[in-house]
């Protein structure tokens, strides 16, 4: 967990590959549902595009369905959930039904200015999903996907004004989740500054993963 743009998805993917567990990204699942106009996606679209948190009942349905699938039975790295204290309770219920428990909760932190820079400069390919950044990872041809040649776009939730609103929501709603897990003795806080490789090294050291 951590603020938007801090690198949760990148680090969750790297960690899941290193330890051989499923990477479950609620952000990816939500965006796919919105793009495909699934019933959950239609209900979630206004929240996703405005930077507000998707209501807890929708997120509870989403995560309960996903973690109940066979490929999650051996364990998973959960990315982007829970984001509110109410979602902590929802996840507790889902895990109890599945007979599972949390081993560790990772909180990745970074300065606000860095997060705004990272997100507002991000561009995505609507065709193949490839990610770019206007400063740190620009495409070979400006505005064009290197992989498939489609025109790159800026996600609605990556516009600077939306990013700042997302950060306000994070401060208000998600930091109490960190406190809840800290009280349980599960929280590991990791500095998210620097390169993805540097952050991943800190995560491995904190978890004792080779």
Q: 3-state DSSP: the chain helix, strand, coil percent, rounded to 5?
A: 55, 15, 35
**Active-site choice (18, 43, 45, 155):** 155
Contacts for 159 with CB less than 8 Å, ≥ 6 apart: 120
Q: How far, in Å, CA of 86 to CA of 109, rounded? A: 22
| 155: annotated active-site residue | yes
**Active-site choice (31, 117, 118, 122):** 122
Q: Which neighbouring-strand residues pair with 19?
A: none
C-alpha distance from residue 151 to each of 123, 124, 135 (Å): 10, 9, 17
Say if residue 82 is preceded by a cis peptide, omega within 30 of 0: yes
Q: Output the six-digit token pair for 54.
A: 């998707």
**Active-site choice (31, 83, 117, 118):** 83
| 83: annotated active-site residue | yes
**Active-site choice (66, 118, 166, 202):** 166
Q: Indicate which residues carry an active-site annotation.
A: 8, 83, 122, 155, 166
């Amino acid at each position: 967990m951590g603020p938007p743009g801090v690198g949760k998805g990148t680090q969750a993917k790297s960690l899941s590959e290193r330890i051989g567990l499923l990477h479950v990204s609620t952000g990816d699942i939500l965006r796919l549902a919105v793009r495909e106009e699934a019933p959950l996606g239609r209900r979630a679209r206004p929240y996703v595009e405005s930077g507000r948190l998707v209501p807890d009942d929708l997120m509870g349905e989403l995560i309960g369905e996903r973690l109940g699938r066979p490929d999650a039975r051996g364990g998973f790295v959960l990315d982007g959930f829970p984001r509110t204290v109410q979602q902590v309770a929802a996840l507790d219920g889902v895990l109890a039904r599945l007979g599972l428990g949390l081993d560790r909760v990772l909180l990745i932190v970074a300065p606000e200015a860095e997060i705004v820079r990272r997100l507002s400069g991000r561009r995505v390919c609507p065709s193949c999903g490839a990610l770019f950044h206007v400063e740190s990872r620009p495409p070979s041809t400006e505005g064009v996907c290197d992989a498939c040649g489609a025109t790159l776009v800026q996600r609605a939730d990556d516009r600077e004004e939306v990013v700042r609103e997302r950060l306000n929501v994070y401060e208000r709603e998600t930091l109490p989740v960190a406190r809840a897990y800290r009280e349980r003795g599960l929280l590991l806080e990791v500095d998210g500054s620097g390169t993805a490789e540097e952050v991943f090294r800190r995560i491995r050291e904190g978890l004792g993963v080779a």
